[in-house]
Copies of this chain bind each other. A is one copy, B any other.
Amino acid sequence: MNFQSKFLTRSQSLKSLLCVGLDPDYCKLPEIIKRSPEPLVHFCREIIDATAPYAVAYKPNIAFFEVFGSSGIRQFEKVIGHLKNNYPQIPIVADIKRGDLDNTARQYARYYFGDLQVDSLTLSPYMGLDTLRPFLEYQDHLVFWLCLTSSPDSIQFQKKRFSETGRTLYEEVAYVANSISPLNLGFVVGATNTYELEILRKQNPDRIFLIPGFGAQGAKLDDLLPVCGRYSLINSSRGIHFASDGLDFAARANQEAEKIHNAMQARFVFL
- Is A157 located at the chain interface by the 8 A CB criterion? yes
Contact B101 A151 (CB under 8 A): yes
Complexed CA–CA distance, A102 and B149 (Å): 13
* Residues of chain A in range 56-83 having any CB-CB distance to chain B below 8 Å: 61, 63-64, 66-74, 76-77
- Is A267 located at the chain interface by the 8 A CB criterion? no
Contact A153 B128 (CB under 8 A): yes
- Is A107 located at the chain interface by the 8 A CB criterion? yes
- Is A87 located at the chain interface by the 8 A CB criterion? no
Complexed CA–CA distance, A165 and B74 (Å): 45
Checking B72, B146, B157 against A169 with a beta-carbon cut-off of 8 angstroms, the contacting residue is: B157
Stretch from A110-118, A199-207, A225-233, A252-260 contacting the other chain: A110-118
- Is A248 located at the chain interface by the 8 A CB criterion? no
Complexed CA–CA distance, A74 and B63 (Å): 16
- Is A89 located at the chain interface by the 8 A CB criterion? no
Checking B74, B102, B116, B161 against A164 with a beta-carbon cut-off of 8 angstroms, the contacting residue is: B161
- Is A160 located at the chain interface by the 8 A CB criterion? yes
Number of residues on chain A facing chain B (CB within 8 A) = 59
Contact A107 B63 (CB under 8 A): yes
Q: Is the interface of A mostly helix, strand, loop or mixed?
A: helix
Complexed CA–CA distance, A217 and B40 (Å): 41
User: What chain B residues lie within 8 Å of A67 (beta carbons)?
Assistant: 107-108, 110-111, 115
User: What chain B residues lie within 8 Å of A129 (beta carbons)?
Assistant: 153, 156
Knowing A63-B107, A97-B98, A97-B99 are in contact, say whether A164-B157 is a contact too (CB < 8 A): no
Stretch from A4-12, A42-50, A119-127, A136-144 contacting the other chain: A119-127
Q: A70-B77, A162-B163 are in contact. List 5 more A-B contacts (CB 8 A).
A: A25-B103, A63-B104, A66-B107, A97-B98, A126-B146
